[in-house]
Each structure stands twice: as structure tokens, then as C-alpha cells.
């Protein structure tokens, strides 16, 4: 009987130790023994199937996640010798963002669109366009001028314009895409034409937003990602900015995430509400550590809402836009 109890006790000890061993953190040595890192796993997979472009893209993403932009670029160059794909161009664009080379990021994003990527299906294109101050749109316009009858480029320009709310320009580019042979754009063109017809038949909306102070300075009440904030409009500024204090508060209280901060220089405001109901989206704000004002909005960004009229004598900002 005692012998049986000893055997049972030993079995229990073996089971417990095995469970603890399985749950302990895996060391780098063990990771390598079990199959290596994610980068190594993908490199082995590519050796078996060099033509699998999806694996090449996954490898570049893994290298970027590890912070190795040099290795990521070499991997892209190797893959592009076999075939140029929209995915590989977008990985090049992401390398540009990681290196703070927004011009290169915009150029490769445009090449991805030219190769068949739809901006509406990859939000990174619009994000890079916003970060680069419309750089992707500019590169696409250059491509459209260099290569006639390029339907993918026209479709990309149309989708970028539609995402920015410029219905008239989107319609113009969709028409060019259809004329160049992209029949898939006809449905989107039809929908936008109906929207434009409704808009032209409807009166424009005028919003009058009062100044917050009585001194005549252009300070407005607003919200950034739902957080109430004081907005100062600077008609001479060329870049909208946000203070360091405000940025830290928003990070701590999850009004923005680390993904919304680019290279510790820019903060992307996904939703900036001015007054009641006037909304700007994906505004790029430059981080200024010692700025006194919580948020300074430049006139260029403000004019994205519509036609602006400042009435200092009445201490009112008037915004006229189409419904």
C-alpha cells in the first residue's frame, strides 16, 4: 500500500513539473531550436517557394516590426527582381514612413496604386497622403500626366478625392478611369453623381461659431477625438500644432494611441470637431513641447470645412458648406 502511494506521489510530481515547464517563458535558444524567429521561419518558407509574394510581404513586415529597415529593403529588392506587386510597393512605403522619408513613402504608395492597389481597401495610402501633405495625390497626378490612359491611376485619384470629400473631383477622375477602360468604376461614378445632384439641389449650410474670449482673438470651442479642447486659429501658420501637455494627457487617457504618433513629431487627430457639428478628420498636428495653446489650427486645415469668413467685430467665425 505504501509503495503504491509513493508511486502515485511521483506521478503527480512529474505531471506538475511538466505543466510548469510548458508554461515557462521560451528562451531565444529554445525558440531557435523549435523553429527560429518569425523572420527565420519566413526566410525558410521563401527558400521553398521563392515565387510566393505574400510570404515576401510578410517577411518585410516582420523585419520592420523588428526595427530592421535595412534588411526589409534588401528583402524587397530581392522580391522585386521576380515580380513587382502592389504589396511590395506598400512595404517600401512603410519603410519610408519608418525612416521619416515621407516623399519616398508617397512615391511608393502611388506606385502601389498604379500597380492595382485600391486606396479604399488600404487605409495606409490615405494615412501616408495625410502625413505627406497630399504627397500621394501629387505623385498620382504626375503619373497620370506621364502615362496616358492609365486607368488604375485615375481610379486611385478618384478614390483619394472621394475620401477627402471632394465629390466633383472624384467624379472627374472616375470618368477618366471609365474612359481609360476601367468599367468597374461605373457604379461608383453613378453613386457620386447622385450625391452631387442632391447636394446642388440643397441649400448650403452656414455655421456661425462664436469666439471663446471677448478680446477678439480667434479662439474656438472644439473637441479632439471626443476630448473638449480650446482651439486657436492662426491665419499665418502653415502647420497645425498641438502642445506637449495636451498630447501627454490624451495618451494617458487613451484619446490617442501610440499608433497615432508618427516619429514623435506628428499626432494624427482622427476627429477634430469645431463648434457644433463641423468635423475635420485625420488632421496632422505637429507636436510642440513648450507650446502655450493646447491646439493651434492653421487656415489651410480650417478651409477644408468650406468657405471661411472671420468677423472680428462680431467675434464670430462663419463656415459655409454644402449639406
Cβ–Cβ < 8 Å for 267, 261: yes
Residue 47 is assigned to a structural domain of this protein? no
Residue 118 and residue 217 in one domain: no
Q: Which CATH number do you get for residue 288? A: 2.40.70.10
Distance CA 174, CA 143 (A): 16
Distance (Å) of CA 239 to CA 29, 227, 266, 290: 49, 21, 11, 16
pLDDT at position 22 is 46
* Mean pLDDT split into 10-residue runs, the chain, 323 residues: 57 51 45 60 85 85 87 88 88 90 92 89 84 88 76 89 78 87 84 61 66 72 89 86 91 88 87 85 89 89 83 77 61
Domain residues for the domain of 111 are 84-200
* Triad 84, 85, 88: Cα angle to 5°: 95
Q: Which run of H or of E encompasses 89? A: helix 86-98
Does residue 99 belong to any structural domain of this protein?
yes
Residue 124 falls inside a structural domain: yes
How far apart are the C-alpha atoms of 242 and 47, rounded to whole Å? 48
CB 178 within 8 A of CB 165: no
190 plus 223 within the same structural domain: no
Among 184, 200, 216, the domain-final residue is 200
Pick from 200, 216, 244: which residue ends a domain?
A: 200
* Sheet of 316-322, strand order: 204-210, 316-322, 307-311
**H-run or E-run covering 204:** strand 204-210
Burial class (CB in 10 A: 0-12, 13-18, 19+), 69: middle
Residues 168 and 259 in one domain: no
User: What pTM did the predictor assign?
Assistant: 0.52
Q: What is the pLDDT of residue 207?
A: 76
CATH code for position 161: 1.25.40
- Counting the structural domains of the chain, the total is 2
Residue with cell 517577411: 59
Decide if 307 is inside a domain.
yes
User: Rounded to 5 degrees, what are φ and ψ at 36?
Assistant: 85, 180
Amino acid at each position: 500500500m505504501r509503495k503504491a502511494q509513493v508511486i502515485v506521489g511521483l506521478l503527480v510530481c512529474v505531471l506538475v513539473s511538466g505543466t510548469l515547464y510548458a508554461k515557462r517563458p521560451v528562451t531565444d535558444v529554445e525558440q531557435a531550436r523549435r523553429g527560429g524567429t518569425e523572420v527565420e521561419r519566413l526566410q525558410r518558407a521563401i527558400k521553398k517557394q521563392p515565387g510566393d509574394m505574400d510570404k515576401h510581404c510578410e517577411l518585410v513586415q516582420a523585419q520592420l516590426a523588428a526595427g530592421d529597415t535595412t534588411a526589409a529593403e534588401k528583402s524587397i529588392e530581392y522580391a522585386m527582381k521576380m515580380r513587382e506587386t502592389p504589396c511590395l510597393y506598400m512595404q517600401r512605403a512603410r519603410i519610408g514612413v519608418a525612416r521619416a522619408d515621407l516623399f519616398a513613402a508617397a512615391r511608393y504608395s502611388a506606385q502601389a496604386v498604379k500597380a492595382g492597389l485600391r486606396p479604399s481597401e488600404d487605409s495606409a495610402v490615405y494615412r501616408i497622403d495625410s502625413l505627406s501633405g497630399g504627397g500621394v495625390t501629387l505623385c498620382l497626378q504626375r503619373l497620370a500626366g506621364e502615362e496616358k490612359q492609365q486607368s488604375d491611376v485615375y481610379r486611385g485619384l478618384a478614390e483619394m478625392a472621394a475620401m477627402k470629400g471632394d465629390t466633383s473631383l472624384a467624379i472627374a477622375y472616375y470618368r477618366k478611369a471609365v474612359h481609360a477602360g476601367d468599367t468597374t468604376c461605373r457604379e461608383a461614378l453613378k453613386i457620386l453623381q447622385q450625391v452631387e445632384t442632391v447636394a446642388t439641389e440643397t441649400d448650403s449650410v452656414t455655421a456661425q461659431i462664436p469666439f471663446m474670449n471677448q478680446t477678439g482673438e480667434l479662439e474656438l470651442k472644439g473637441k479632439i477625438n471626443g476630448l473638449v479642447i480650446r482651439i486657436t486659429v492662426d491665419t499665418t501658420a502653415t502647420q497645425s500644432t498641438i502642445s506637449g501637455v495636451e498630447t501627454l494627457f490624451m495618451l494617458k487617457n487613451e484619446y490617442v494611441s501610440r499608433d497615432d504618433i508618427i516619429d514623435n513629431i506628428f499626432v494624427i487627430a482622427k476627429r477634430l470637431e469645431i463648434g457644433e457639428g463641423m468635423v475635420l478628420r485625420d488632421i496632422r498636428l505637429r507636436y510642440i513641447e513648450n507650446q502655450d495653446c493646447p491646439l493651434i489650427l492653421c487656415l489651410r486645415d480650417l478651409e477644408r470645412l468650406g468657405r471661411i469668413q472671420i468677423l472680428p467685430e462680431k467675434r464670430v467665425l462663419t463656415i459655409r458648406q454644402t449639406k
